[in-house]
């Protein structure tokens, strides 16, 4: 059956899913950036200072990896944490990792390196969290304020003046980047999501239209085949009975040739209402197979039940259409039907072949009757 609008997810759900996907990709980029920065800074520190300081570098690298590893574990294994909370946790942990790197840069006295790497961290944070501003502002705020506090608390006197100036410059640069770059990325991201969602909903609607018969509003032959496939699988799994009714209202062909398409559409819609009224269970399925032929799928129904259903449908069609058709054509409404029984040895293709054979028999019977009338 075609899913209702309630069964499909809303635009808010779709956007939330896309935001989570974007955040997860951003966390990976930020992780890669921080690992790269840690390796570069450690190498620079060893290059400039003596080999005795390698122990400090190892401590810094292990601390950085601990923070990042813990963050990755939280966002990938803690199912109770929403992606919004995971983004906040990741922002805090990535900032702590950056502060460890920043302290190492401050002790090395490399003012230019400190500024360049600070800008790289700011850009990486913005690209990771731009779709969720709370995490973005938390990460940048902790990183910039933490850098200033680190300079005040731990910086050697000979480097303090230069590093503190760099901290202020990084603070201003971070504010400018967070405003301009975040706004630009958000604009393009939202435009892309809107475009993708419109295409998705359009494809959904086209798929739905492709399964609906425009004249009657019933599902068409393609949808009937899909439902038949599903119900055969269910019957095979549950060991339950399944019957199919193929039904034809013969007088429609002559009525169309006499009074045209518009008048026939009104009759078809009457028959459609009869089909819907005659099927009492929600799971029973009716589809419009061709101009005057309908198919009914009755899961969990034995032959006696299927016979009762087809008799009820025939009675409703006659009550609804006989007077109109007899008044215009001066001949009774003729309802033909076949009841097909599924068994585990029959495949979906075999059932479809049997349905096709029923429709051929209907056509042959009509042709034979027309020949008899002409004689």
Tell me how far apart the 2 most distant CA atoms of the chain are, in Å: 118
Q: Mean of the pLDDT values across residues 138-142? A: 79
| Single pTM value for the model | 0.50
* Long-range own/partner contacts, residues 64-71 (CB < 8 A, 24 or more apart): 64/34, 64/35, 64/38, 64/97, 64/100, 64/101, 65/35, 65/38, 67/93, 67/94, 67/96, 67/97, 67/100, 68/31, 68/34, 68/35, 68/93, 68/94, 68/97, 71/27, 71/31
Per-residue pLDDT, averaged over 261-268, amounts to 86
Does the pLDDT at position 6 exceed 50?
A: no
Nearest alpha-carbon partner for 355 in 276, 311, 297? 297
Spell out the domains of the chain, with CATH numbers in brackets: 11-205 (no CATH), 221-374 (3.30.70.270)
Residues with Cβ within 8 Å of 343's Cβ and at least 6 positions away in sequence, in order, are none
> CB neighbours (10 Å) of residue 364?
10
Give CA 306 to chain center in angstroms: 38
pLDDT in tens, 299-334: 999 999 999 999 999 999 988 888 887 777 777 788
Give the integer Cα–Cα distance in Å for 338 and 142. Answer: 75
Alpha carbon separation from 33 to 98, 162, 352 (Å, rounded): 10, 25, 58
Q: Is the pLDDT of residue 2 over 80?
A: no
- Cα(306)–Cα(341) distance, integer angstroms: 9
- 21-35, 73-87, 252-266: least confidently modelled range: 73-87
Question: At 285, which helix (H) or strand (E)?
Answer: strand 285-288
Report whether pLDDT(54) > 80.
no
Cα end-to-end span (Å), the chain: 46
- Assign 287 a pLDDT band (cuts: 50, 70, 90): very high
What is the mean predicted confidence (pLDDT) over 26-54?
69
With residues binned 3-state (H G I as helix, E B as strand, rest as coil), the percentages for the chain, rounded to 5, are: 75, 5, 15
Q: What is the pLDDT of residue 150?
A: 63
The answer on pLDDT for 145 being more than 60 is yes
Per DSSP, 299 falls in state: E
Long-range contacts of 73-79 (CB under 8 A, 24+ apart): 75/24, 75/27
Distance of alpha carbon 300 from alpha carbon 234, whole angstroms = 10
Whether pLDDT at 240 is above 90: yes
Q: Which of 53-57, 110-114, 237-241, 366-370 has the highest mean pLDDT?
A: 237-241
The mean pLDDT value of the chain amounts to 77
Q: What percentage of residues in the chain have a pLDDT greater than 70?
A: 71
What average pLDDT does this structure show over 3-12?
Answer: 47
Per residue in 187-231, pLDDT (tens digit) is 777 777 777 777 777 666 655 556 888 788 888 888 899 899 999
In the prediction, which pLDDT does 118 show? 75
Measured distance CA(202)–CA(277) in Å, rounded: 32
Compute the residue count for the chain: 375
Residue among 218, 222, 352, 337 at smallest CA distance from 288: 218
Nearest partner of 138 among 125, 147, 149, 148, judged by Cα: 125
Mean pLDDT is lowest, of 44-48, 77-81, 130-134, 213-217, for 77-81
Nearest to 83 by CA among 74, 92, 95: 74
**Confidence class of residue 7 from pLDDT cuts 50, 70 and 90?**
very low
């Amino acid at each position: 059956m075609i899913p209702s609008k309630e069964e499909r997810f809303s635009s808010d759900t779709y956007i939330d899913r896309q935001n989570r996907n974007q955040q997860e990709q951003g966390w990976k980029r930020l992780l890669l950036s921080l690992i790269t920065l840690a390796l570069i800074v450690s190498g620079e520190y060893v290059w400039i200072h003596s080999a005795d300081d390698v122990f400090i570098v190892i401590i810094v690298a292990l601390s950085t990896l601990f923070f990042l590893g813990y963050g990755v574990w939280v966002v990938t294994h803690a199912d109770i944490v929403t992606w919004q909370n995971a983004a906040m946790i990741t922002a805090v942990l990535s900032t702590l990792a950056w502060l460890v790197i920043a302290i190492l840069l401050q002790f090395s006295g490399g003012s230019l390196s400190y500024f360049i790497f600070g800008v790289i961290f700011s850009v990486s944070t913005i690209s990771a969290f731009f779709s969720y501003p709370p995490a973005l502002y938390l990460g940048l705020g902790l990183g910039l304020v933490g850098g200033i506090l680190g300079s005040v608390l731990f910086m050697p006197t000979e480097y303090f003046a230069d590093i503190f100036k760099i901290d202020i410059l990084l603070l201003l640069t971070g504010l400018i980047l967070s405003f301009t770059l975040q706004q630009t990325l958000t604009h393009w991201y939202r435009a892309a999501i809107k475009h993708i969602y419109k295409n998705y909903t359009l494809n959904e609607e086209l798929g739905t239209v492709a399964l609906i018969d425009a004249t009657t509003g019933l599902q068409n032959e393609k949808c009937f085949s899909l439902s038949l496939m599903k119900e055969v699988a269910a019957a095979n799994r549950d060991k339950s009975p399944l019957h199919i009714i193929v039904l034809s209202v013969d007088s429609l062909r002559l009525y169309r040739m006499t009074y045209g398409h518009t008048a026939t559409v009104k009759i078809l819609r009457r028959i459609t209402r009869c089909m819907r009224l005659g099927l009492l269970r929600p799971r029973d399925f009716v589809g419009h197979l061709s101009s005057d032929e309908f198919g009914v799928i009755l899961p969990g129904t034995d032959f006696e039940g299927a016979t009762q259903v087809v008799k009820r449908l025939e009675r409703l069609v006659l009550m609804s259409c006989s007077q109109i058709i007899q008044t215009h054509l001066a001949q009774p409404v003729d309802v033909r039907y076949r009841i097909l029984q599924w068994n585990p040895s029959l495949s979906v293709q075999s059932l479809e072949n049997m349905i096709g054979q029923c429709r051929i028999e209907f056509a042959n019977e009509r042709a034979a009757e027309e020949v008899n009338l002409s004689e």
